[in-house]
Amino acid sequence: MLKLKILPQPEVFLQLLPGMLQAQTLELLLGHIFTSSRQKYLQPISGKRFLFRTPDGEIELFMCVDHLGIHIQPHTQEVPDVTISGDLMALTALCLGLEDTDSLFFSRRLLLTGDTSTGLMFKNILANLDFDLCAELELKLGKHTADMLWRMATQAINAVEFFDQQVARAGIVVGERFGLSPVEKVKSLETQLHSLNEKHVALKQRLERRHRPDRAKQAA
Amino acid sequence: MTTDYRKPELVCPAGNLPALKAAVDAGGDTVYLGFRNASNARNFEGLNFSREEVEEGIQYAHDRNARVFVAVNTSPGPRNISPWTSSIDIASELGADAVIISDIALLAYAKENHPNLRRHLSVQASAGNYEALEFYAREFGIQRAVLPRILTLDAIREICSKSSLEIEIFASGGLCVMAEGRCWLSSYITGDSPNMNGVCSPAHAVRFEQENGTLDVKLDGMLINKFAPDEAAAYPTLCKGRFEAGGKTGHVMEAPYSLNTLEVLPEIFAAGVHGLKIEGRQRSKHYVRSVVSTWREAVDVCASDPHGYVAKKEWMASLNATSEGGAHTTGAYEDDWR
Amino acid sequence: MNHSEPLPAMKIAVGPLLFGWPEAKIQDFYLSLTEESDADIFYLGEVVCSKRTISGIKWQLKLASQLQESGREVVLSTLAMPTTEGELQFIRDLTAAAGEMNLAIEANDMASVAVASQLGVKFVAGPHLNVYSHGMLEQMCRHGAKRVVLPLEIPAKDIPDVIGQSDIEVEYFAHGHLPLTFSARCYTARSHGLSKQECRHVCFLNPDGIEMHTLDDHDFATINGTQIMSHRPFTAINYLAELAGFGVRTLRISPQASGMSETLRHFRAAADGAVSAEEALQGVAGGRNISETFCNGYYHGRQGRVWVET
């Protein structure tokens, strides 16, 4: 079993989780992002329906926004106003404001079809939120939530490992679904967790620097 | 004769508060922004600042010795001028360091009502020669002008030497190949223009469609671009679309490259430019942080040794990684582009 | 529209030739219009590209005085995007000459406004000076404008508010390919595989520009050197009574290689109330399908390229 002491970044959790859990986790995270104090920002997209999907159609999450906030569910018969397609990393980067979304569009990792205005509005609402999600999860929600998310992730990893053992015992080779064997998949995720942790540490350092008032200015 | 090199300030984009903070933290000298209405040329859905956000942004920047310019750079129509004049009033009240204006009537308003607020001429005024600039200086007391992206470095040098004004040029980001303020391509197809509505290719007219990896871009129902499965995509602007003309199909006007002047930085320093503008108020804080950091380093390196300065490969790669079309050009600054 | 109602007197102006033609062709074009039309105003001079002004200003001044002799008002148009000292000097020389000939210039850049107001020469504020509001109009008047040409994209219903109480003459771009934009790059040269530096004046080979279509075969634009124009000609010939009511006193017809004198005749007839709006529209269409030939979206505050039925 993997033994990681760090809190990995949210998109890694999502990648680790099966469909239903992904929807729940994304809802949990977006729910946290749009807590009551920030829910007013959703007003311009109230009543709009979004579909997030991976290009292979493997994952589809349906999101609707109403006066109560954001609701996410897998599978739906409803026709969305906007469909946002991309790999899971790109989708979560958009939703959680982790990367420059225009760059993801230019590099063809993210595509917005349907009502472009609503899609752009959603993107800019998220980009306008002035907070550090990871820091909030850790600092504000406290250890409990972080631990809970972490437990979900490790359970998922354990499940994959268990599945892998069962598969090995049965002498069947699967894993083409990911282009990797389940063990390799877990290992690659482990590597990603480490590299993301490094990024996370760097970000924290930057944050600390930012709060130092005596930032040296370059005089022209 | 020795050349004088002026180290220009970095004027950085912010479409929201997180981007403003990122620009300041990454070493931007100045941030430019606009209010959330048609008074500025990036009037996109969900972008720009409320009064409270401008107030917080100015506080944040001033606490860290950075400046804030407020763009009020579209033309008010004939009826309701108040979103424009109140933007200028609020900018003044909140202590903005300058307003960036294109419309003469608004310049006159700002001069009369807020004489102590610095007035900069927006690129949207399409003033590309010193005669026009001196006119704006004489009549409306502007202190700085942002030049259109259609000039050569020689022309910029001449303007800097002959004009009494501070000169700001675009250094990085989206490349308008047309004279801004004199381009009606967007309204011809979509009904909305930068001059009147603060938008080029407004989102309401844009549709992306992808089939078998090929991305079609439609503007008000007209196919204006097609990207192959592995090709870098670009913004849905007409000037960078693919069309058919004279029996040939392709980028008739301009390929979707971004402007990048890192390689000609010593020449820009030698021209005596006061401000280097980074385009991209529509971009995220991540883009702003990355691009401003790169430019901060490049400008500092060039200032310390303009003769020995060479644009580093990693700077170029870093800018390309986030740029439209994934590639760059020095645009009109070098003659062979024309 | 009842064509027996008298309209306020409307002047017909031949706008500056926006395409690149050889000198002899330009001369023939304008001189023949003095005979074949009763246009009131002739705008004369290069607006788009200084490389087309190779012959200097003398021949242009000579042509201007010939046009003057025919009893018409002549206005010397200036470059829209001057960026070099040579181009500024060209504007200064032309403006000074206009002053000596007691002519106005058409200012298409603030540099021309500056030069004209310094030299005390009257000017027409051209369509690229962006007079979108009454405030802008007043500023132009204050600096010596004798007439203002409205921006192309302005909705017609906004015109009365732009004019306000001002008694300045207002001109409306009423017919022709819309000059949509200017660049530093020459797209005609580019389409011939050349650069602007070594353009060999290839625009002279394309007297009506080069057509540009979308990939799905919608008509879109016309390449005219450093300028992109609408592929469809705009026309407001069927709205002259309304325009007169809005305060427009001059109608600009933008030159094109063929059919110019016929277009001017139809406009004159419509402006004089001699034919109905519909007859005039059919006249300029000359048998072509109107909604597939012309555009008038800007008139209605819509997409410029569309045709809106009355």
DSSP B5-74: ---PEEEEE-SSHHHHHHHHHTT-SEEEE-BSSTTSS---TT-SB-HHHHHHHHHHHHHTT-EEEEEE-S
Range of the domain at B221: 188-250
Q: What is the mean pLDDT of residues C7-22?
A: 93
- Are B24 and B140 in the same domain? yes
- Provide the ipTM: 0.95
Query: Cβ contacts (< 8 Å) between A209 and chain B: which residues?
Result: 25
pLDDT at residue A96 tops 90: no
Q: What is the separation, in whole angstroms, between the first and last Cα of chain B?
A: 31
**Residue C81, C-beta contacts closer than 8 angstroms, at least 6 positions apart:** B126, B128, B150, B179, B182, C109, C182, C184, C226
Q: Chains C, A in contact: 3+ Cβ pairs under 8 A?
A: no
Distance from CA of B25 to the nearest CA of A (A): 6
pLDDT of residue A215: 41
pLDDT of residue A172: 43
- Are B229 and B295 in the same domain? no
DSSP code string of B151-196: --HHHHHHHHHH-SSEEEEEEEE----B-TTS--HHHHHHS--HHH
- Three-state SS for A94-157 is HHCCCCCHHHHHHCCCEEEEECHHHHHHHHHHHHHCCCCHHHHHHHHCHHHHHHHHHHHHHHHH
pLDDT at residue A145 tops 70: no
Any CB–CB contact under 8 A between B132 and chain C?
A: yes
pLDDT of residue C267: 97
- Are A101 and A152 in the same domain? no
Query: Cβ contacts (< 8 Å) between B239 and chain C: which residues?
Result: 181, 183
**Residue A188, C-beta contacts closer than 8 angstroms, at least 6 positions apart:** A180
List all residues of chain C from 84 to 143 with a beta carbon under 8 Å from chain B.
84-85, 87-88, 91, 109-111, 113-115, 128, 130, 132-136, 138-139, 143
Q: Chains C, B in contact: 3+ Cβ pairs under 8 A?
A: yes
**Shortest CA distance from A103: residue in chain B:** B322
- Are A144 and A45 in the same domain? no
- Are B171 and B105 in the same domain? yes
Asked if residue A6 is part of any domain, the answer here is no
- Are B120 and B233 in the same domain? no
Q: Do B246 and C302 touch (CB under 8 A)?
A: no
Residue at which a domain ends, from A129, A160, A186: A129
Name the more confident of B191 and A177. B191
Q: What is the mean pLDDT of residues B43-70?
A: 96
pLDDT at residue A35 tops 80: no
Task: Tell me what percent of the residues of chain C surpass a pLDDT of 90.
Answer: 89
Residue at which a domain ends, from B250, B269, B288: B250
Distance from CA of B215 to the nearest CA of A (A): 9
- Are B139 and B207 in the same domain? no
pLDDT band, residue A213 (cuts 50/70/90): very low
pLDDT band, residue B328 (cuts 50/70/90): confident
**Shortest CA distance from B327: residue in chain A:** A106
- Are A187 and A85 in the same domain? no
pLDDT of residue A9: 56
pLDDT of residue A32: 74
Cα C120–chain centre separation: 24
Q: Do A127 and B232 touch (CB under 8 A)?
A: no
pLDDT at residue A21 tops 90: no
Asked if residue B158 is part of any domain, the answer here is yes
Name the more confident of B236 and B330. B236
- Are B201 and B300 in the same domain? no
Q: Do A105 and B233 touch (CB under 8 A)?
A: yes
Distance from CA of B206 to the nearest CA of A (A): 6
Asked if residue B58 is part of any domain, the answer here is yes
> Could you give the number of structural domains in chain B?
2
Q: What is the mean pLDDT of residues C232-245?
A: 97
Between β-strands C227-235 and C169-182, what pairing exists: parallel, antiparallel or unpaired?
A: antiparallel
pLDDT at residue C68 tops 80: yes
pLDDT at residue A60 tops 60: yes
pLDDT of residue A132: 66
Q: Do C215 and B226 touch (CB under 8 A)?
A: yes
pLDDT of residue A7: 46
- Are A100 and A144 in the same domain? no
Asked if residue A69 is part of any domain, the answer here is yes
Q: Alpha-carbon distance C287 to A144, whole Å?
A: 79
Q: Are B305 and B280 in contact (CB under 8 A)?
A: no
- Are A115 and A198 in the same domain? no
Distance from CA of A177 to the nearest CA of B (A): 20
- Are A178 and A100 in the same domain? no
- Are B244 and B282 in the same domain? no
pLDDT of residue A171: 45
pLDDT of residue C1: 45
E strands within chain C?
11-14, 41-44, 73-77, 104-107, 123-125, 145-149, 169-182, 210-214, 219-224, 227-235, 250-253
Tell me: the pLDDT tens digits for A104-132? 999 999 999 999 999 999 999 989 887 76
Q: Do C191 and B244 touch (CB under 8 A)?
A: no
- Are B98 and B58 in the same domain? yes
- Are A107 and A203 in the same domain? no
- Are A29 and A123 in the same domain? yes
pLDDT of residue B176: 84
pLDDT band, residue B270 (cuts 50/70/90): very high
- Are A112 and A144 in the same domain? no
Asked if residue B193 is part of any domain, the answer here is yes
- Are A186 and A99 in the same domain? no
pLDDT at residue A6 tops 50: no
CB atoms within 10 A of CB B236: 23
Tell me: the pLDDT tens digits for C36-59? 998 999 999 999 999 998 778 999
Q: What is the mean pLDDT of residues C224-231?
A: 96
Cα A207–chain centre separation: 21
pLDDT at residue B298 tops 60: yes
- Are B78 and B129 in the same domain? yes
Residue at which a domain ends, from A129, A160, A191: A129
- Are A46 and A96 in the same domain? yes
Residue at which a domain ends, from B250, B283, B300: B250
Q: What is the mean pLDDT of residues A186-198?
A: 57
Query: Cβ contacts (< 8 Å) between B65 and chain A: which residues?
Result: 215, 217
Q: Are C266 and C237 in contact (CB under 8 A)?
A: yes
Q: Do A220 and B7 touch (CB under 8 A)?
A: yes
Asked if residue B181 is part of any domain, the answer here is no
Average confidence score pLDDT of chain B: 94
Asked if residue B182 is part of any domain, the answer here is no
pLDDT at residue A134 tops 80: no
Range of the domain at A138: 134-210
pLDDT at residue A182 tops 80: no
Q: Which residues of A touch B (CB under 8 A)?
A: 44, 85, 97-103, 105-108, 111-113, 116-125, 127-130, 206, 209-210, 213, 215, 217-218, 220
Give the least confident one: A188-197, B146-155, B251-260: A188-197
The C-alpha torsion from B290 through B294 and B299 to B302, rounded to 10°, is 180
Q: Is the dihedral of CA B194, B199, B204, B209 positive or negative?
A: positive
Distance from CA of C297 to the nearest CA of B (A): 8
pLDDT at residue B219 tops 80: yes
Q: Do C153 and B193 touch (CB under 8 A)?
A: yes
- Are A30 and A115 in the same domain? yes
Q: Which chains touch C (3 or more CB pairs under 8 A)?
A: B
Asked if residue A216 is part of any domain, the answer here is no
Asked if residue A173 is part of any domain, the answer here is yes
Q: Do B223 and C215 touch (CB under 8 A)?
A: yes
**Shortest CA distance from C136: residue in chain B:** B105
pLDDT at residue C246 tops 60: yes
Query: What count of Cα atoms within 13 Å lies in the side-chain half-sphere of residue C252?
Result: 30
Q: What is the mean pLDDT of residues A63-84?
A: 85
pLDDT band, residue A5 (cuts 50/70/90): very low
- Are B261 and B117 in the same domain? yes
Any CB–CB contact under 8 A between C297 and chain B?
A: yes
Asked if residue B169 is part of any domain, the answer here is yes
Residue at which a domain ends, from A129, A148, A163: A129
pLDDT band, residue A191 (cuts 50/70/90): low
Asked if residue B143 is part of any domain, the answer here is yes
Which has the closest alpha carbon to B30: B60, B2, B5? B60
Residue at which a domain ends, from B250, B271, B294: B250
- Are B65 and B30 in the same domain? yes
Of B7, B227, B322, the CB nearest to A103: B322
pLDDT at residue C274 tops 90: yes
Q: Do A97 and B284 touch (CB under 8 A)?
A: yes
pLDDT of residue A177: 37
Average confidence score pLDDT of chain A: 69
Asked if residue A9 is part of any domain, the answer here is no
> Could you give the number of structural domains in chain A?
2
Query: Cβ contacts (< 8 Å) between B254 and chain C: which residues?
Result: 185
List of domains in chain C:
11-177+232-300 (3.20.20.70)
Asked if residue B183 is part of any domain, the answer here is no
- Are B147 and B89 in the same domain? yes
